[in-house]
Structures are given as structure tokens and as C-alpha cells.
Amino acid sequence: MAIQIVDEYIATLDGWKAEVVSRVRVIIREAAPDAQEKYKWAQPVYEVNGPLCYMKAFKNSVNFGFWRGVDLDDPLGLLQGSGKKMRHVSLGGMDDINETAFTDFIQQAARLNLELGDPTKG
């Protein structure tokens, strides 16, 4: 059975990874209530005028990433990556969730998408 919705994705995850994805999902919904939740590219994706953030579980971590990551203000230095646009936070458990910083990242990303358009086009 192909995964079609985020609830199905979460159901496939082991213990702490399911908890992390579920908690970050709540933070995203609260920070960007107008964001559309989708399952694309084998991961949960949240969109406001194009994709703004995603979550992807791996063997030992969950990545919480942003299409416009290089453009986000990150005073704590949480964002990782070396590509031209995208950045992510690598989460190894519930203690790695920084609700204040994540809320700020999400709101910045949504605002940038509204101002600059879909980050996948152009």
C-alpha cells in the first residue's frame, strides 16, 4: 500500500521518530495554520504558495527542513546543509525540538513564499 497521507507515514515510524514527527507537525500547524499538509517526495510537506518545510525520518534521525533555508534568520545556528537553497535541522529525539526557533523558521519560510513565490520555480 502506498502512503498517501501524513497519518499513514507517522504510523510507519518507530517510537521516538513518530513522537518527533507528530510534535513538529503540531508546531507547523500552529505556526502556519493556512499551510496545506501533503505527502510528496516520500515525506510530509507543508505548503504556502509552494513548499516551505518538510520532515523526513532516517535510521537515526528526523530531518526538519526548509526549501528557503539559506534565507532564514538562524541566530542559534540550528540549520545545517551546504546546498544553494535548502537547510535542515537534524533531530535525534524530543529534546532536540526547539519550539520557539521552529515556529520562527516556519513563519519566516511562509512569509518568504508569499513574498517571493514558489521556491521550486525559479
Confidence (pLDDT) at 2: 57
Segments making up each domain of the chain, as ranges = 6-116
From CA 86, how far away is CA 66, in angstroms rounded?
6
Neighbours of 83 (CB within 10 A): 9
Indicate the average pLDDT of the chain: 95
Partners of residue 64 on adjacent β-strands: 55, 89
CATH architecture of 6-116: Alpha-Beta Complex (3.90)
Residue 1 — pLDDT band, cuts 50, 70, 90? Answer: very low
Angle between helical axes of 99-116 and 15-31 (0-180°, round to 10): 50
Give the model confidence (pLDDT) of 4-54 as tens digits: 799 999 999 999 999 999 999 999 999 999 999 999 999 999 999 999 999
pTM, entire model: 0.94
Q: How far is CA 98 from CA 3, 20, 39, 115, in A?
A: 28, 11, 24, 26
How many residues belong to the chain? Answer: 122
**Cell for 117?**
513565490
Give the model confidence (pLDDT) of 66-114 as tens digits: 999 999 999 999 999 999 999 999 999 999 999 999 999 999 999 999 9
Confidence (pLDDT) at 9: 96
